Structure 1
């Protein structure tokens, strides 16, 4: 199966001739004068028909902008915390349909601009999020198609590189400001045990999650990752896999939701957060973590350590050249990773995906990846994922006597007498199947090899599995 935009659930075109939309805005304003239920029924009828008519991209976009204004009008009429009518939920669904059809028209164009594409993806996702929230308000299970389309919109945004494009969306309750945040806001709402919320708490929780949603991160799947966190399958029709479900999909569709930065931020001062929102977030956070037992017991303690940052620095440290390091304080640790606190000015050197070497005051240095980070008044909080095994410095050449390039070889004992090897390199330095010469530190001979496909990559480094004699 391949995820693509054509799988978006949109109705067939039934009319080739669209009704004139020149006076649509005035017509919608006139409809407002009718009783609320009748007005909503007429708006829904107009939108339903337009969504099934052939229209130019510009016509459809202008019409949907008018209907978005109507949505704001009718949502403002909902009493605070009161459940919506079924007609209002259908309006959310039809607006999502309209923006999904508009998205297909944009994608079929020659060169859609990233801001335009991001706006359309966001608007489609927003009305799906409203349908989700309103279903929960009515204590109804959202349709499976809602999650299929939500995952697909995220997938498209990821591949079109517009997840983080800011979109100004003056809706209430306030949604996150970009597609990444909005999608993760939906996931967090779904994982909050919403059917156990009391009446009126669902919109309140949706708004309380808004400033936190972007702090979570969907990370690429890695079988060796022993960290906890919900598993999202972009090819499924549910928000995330339950802990009992087997993970059988193609890894390209799997993501792990990393909540570390968000959980730290929950305790930060938030002057715009009401006491009721704080209590509500604290109540639902246990559901985000799930009932899964930690694979490794975590110990809370305070210990100083040092970090060598980046592949070239680690390479130098492994050769005992004593490169510069930065001080950090370890706040807790387990066999799978650790949480550290360091100075805020190190943020530019320590993005998510950076390779680091942890130098404790006693014990063996440990190779690790920055998994999440969060900055507050205390400093820069880092979540590290330990990379088990022996780290060794290596050099790579494109020819036996060519220029050397540093790399780090991570070697882990395999069952029996063998070893698993992973070669860490900077992103973009070499390509798959390129013929290279590898030389270990303190070894005079070089081994020739084609570079295999990577099995883990981040924004900073990439790891290639190796088989060495």
Structure 2
């Protein structure tokens, strides 16, 4: 199954002539003069009709901006411990429908600008988030379609490069300022056991998550990854897979929800955070990892170590050419990875998905990926995921006498007498199906291979599974 925008749940167009929109703002202003319930009913009726009418992109956008202003007005009634009414929840749903339909119109147009597309994706996600929040405030299970559409909006944003485009949106309770942050704010709220929160705490938690949610990351799926974070299936109508669930679809739509940077940031000084927000965050974080126990026991292991950063530098280190190293302090470690402290000025080169070689003084260096990072006043906090196997330097050519490219071959014993191999190359340097000449260190012969489809891609490196004689 392929995710695409046409799967967004929007109602059919029932009216081809919406009539004049010139008096829309006047009708909305008149509604405000009434008591809240009949006013909401009138606003909802107007929006319901517009969402099922044919309109130009500009007409729909202007109308939805007017309804968003009305939403801000009526939202004030339900702040604090006042639970929302069913009518207000329906208003959230209809606003989400309106922005989803606007998004479809934008995508069907000619090359929309990234800020415009990011704004529309964000607004659709925001009103889905509001619908989710209001359902939890009423202790009601949200519709499965809410999660289907939320995952799809994230997927579109990921492929359109809109996840981290900042959006200024003055709403209460405060949403995160990017599509990535807002989507992850929803996931964290859903993972916080919301039906066990006291009245008023759901909105409090949602606002407390706003400055923190963007620190988490959805990472590409790798079956060898033994991390403890939740698994998100972008095709499933639920926030994440339960511990006992296994995905039946393509791994292209699976993501691992990495919370390491967020969990570190929870302990940072936060002068704008209220005591009530701090208390509810401390109480709910135990639910975020889904599992009650870690797969690997983590042990305090404070010791000095160093990192060789990037594939080219690792290649040189494996050839004993002594490239530049980065000093670090190991905080704790487990068989699956480690947590390090580095100087803050190393943040530029130590990005998420960067390949590193960990040197601890032992004879065998450890290949690892930067899984998460968090920069605060103390230092740069890094979470490493160990890559099991022996790393070896290799050279690659597109022809026997062509330019050489460095690579790293990661080899792990397989059951029996065989080996599993993973070939690490810079991202985008080669493509699947390309024929390459591979040469191991101290070997004179070159093996002719065809690159298979990659089984792990990050922003820095790509891994290809290899079969070598």
Cα distance in structure 2, aligned partners of 1:36 and 1:159: 41
CA RMSD of aligned residues (A): 0.9
Matches within 5 A, 1:237-256: 237-256=237-256
Measured against aligned partners, the alpha-carbon deviations of 1:221-242 in whole angstroms (never above 9, x if no partner) come to 1111111110001101000011
Of stretches 190-199 and 1-10 in structure 1, the one that deviates more from structure 2 is 1-10
Matches within 5 A, 1:431-446: 431-446=431-446
Whether 1:22 aligns to 2:4 is: no
1:292 to partner: Cα distance: 4.1
Matches within 5 A, 1:107-122: 107-122=107-122
Q: Which runs of 4+ in 1 moved over 3 A?
A: none
Matches within 5 A, 1:23-38: 23-38=23-38
Partner of 2:225: 225
Matches within 5 A, 1:242-321: 242-321=242-321
Query: SS at 1:304's partner residue?
Result: strand
Cα distance in structure 1, aligned partners of 2:399 and 2:108: 45
Partner of 2:378: 378
Report if aligned partners of 1:243, 1:292 keep a CA contact under 8 Å in 2: no
Partner of 1:156: 156
Cα distance in structure 1, aligned partners of 2:130 and 2:179: 14
Matches within 5 A, 1:167-246: 167-246=167-246
The count of corresponding residues between Structure 1 and Structure 2 is: 469
Report if aligned partners of 1:13, 1:53 keep a CA contact under 8 Å in 2: yes
1:34 to partner: Cα distance: 0.8
Partner of 2:449: 449
Query: SS at 1:214's partner residue?
Result: helix
Cα distance in structure 2, aligned partners of 1:91 and 1:163: 26
Query: SS at 1:348's partner residue?
Result: coil
Matches within 5 A, 1:13-162: 13-162=13-162
Cα distance in structure 2, aligned partners of 1:426 and 1:392: 15
Partner of 1:333: 333
Partner of 1:347: 347
Cα distance in structure 1, aligned partners of 2:212 and 2:81: 21
Partner of 2:368: 368
Cα distance in structure 1, aligned partners of 2:50 and 2:270: 43
Cα distance in structure 1, aligned partners of 2:174 and 2:127: 13
1:290 to partner: Cα distance: 2.0
1:247 to partner: Cα distance: 2.5
Cα distance in structure 1, aligned partners of 2:329 and 2:79: 49
Of stretches 456-465 and 243-252 in structure 1, the one that deviates more from structure 2 is 243-252
Could you say if the C-alpha distance between residues 316 and 70 of structure 1 is closer, same or farther in structure 2, counting changes exceeding 3 Å? same
1:427 to partner: Cα distance: 1.2
Unaligned runs of 5+ in 1: none
Report if aligned partners of 1:176, 1:210 keep a CA contact under 8 Å in 2: yes
Measured against aligned partners, the alpha-carbon deviations of 1:279-332 in whole angstroms (never above 9, x if no partner) come to 110000000022343222111120111101111111111011111101101111
Cα distance in structure 1, aligned partners of 2:16 and 2:319: 71
Report if aligned partners of 2:228, 2:291 keep a CA contact under 8 Å in 1: no
Could you say if the C-alpha distance between residues 248 and 301 of structure 1 is closer, same or farther in structure 2, counting changes exceeding 3 Å? same
Report if aligned partners of 1:304, 1:361 keep a CA contact under 8 Å in 2: no
Cα distance in structure 1, aligned partners of 2:81 and 2:169: 21
Q: What is the TM-score when the length of structure 1 is the normalising length?
A: 0.99
Whether 1:419 aligns to 2:419 is: yes
Could you say if the C-alpha distance between residues 79 and 214 of structure 1 is closer, same or farther in structure 2, counting changes exceeding 3 Å? closer
Cα distance in structure 2, aligned partners of 1:362 and 1:445: 32
Measured against aligned partners, the alpha-carbon deviations of 1:253-277 in whole angstroms (never above 9, x if no partner) come to 1111000000000000011101111
Cα distance in structure 2, aligned partners of 1:71 and 1:51: 16
1:2 to partner: Cα distance: 1.6
Cα distance in structure 1, aligned partners of 2:49 and 2:239: 30
Query: SS at 2:422's partner residue?
Result: strand
1:248 to partner: Cα distance: 2.1
Cα distance in structure 1, aligned partners of 2:449 and 2:162: 37
Report if aligned partners of 1:128, 1:146 keep a CA contact under 8 Å in 2: yes
Cα distance in structure 1, aligned partners of 2:19 and 2:199: 41
Query: SS at 2:239's partner residue?
Result: coil
1:140 to partner: Cα distance: 0.4
Query: SS at 1:211's partner residue?
Result: coil
Cα distance in structure 2, aligned partners of 1:48 and 1:418: 63
Of stretches 200-209 and 242-251 in structure 1, the one that deviates more from structure 2 is 242-251
Cα distance in structure 2, aligned partners of 1:431 and 1:290: 36
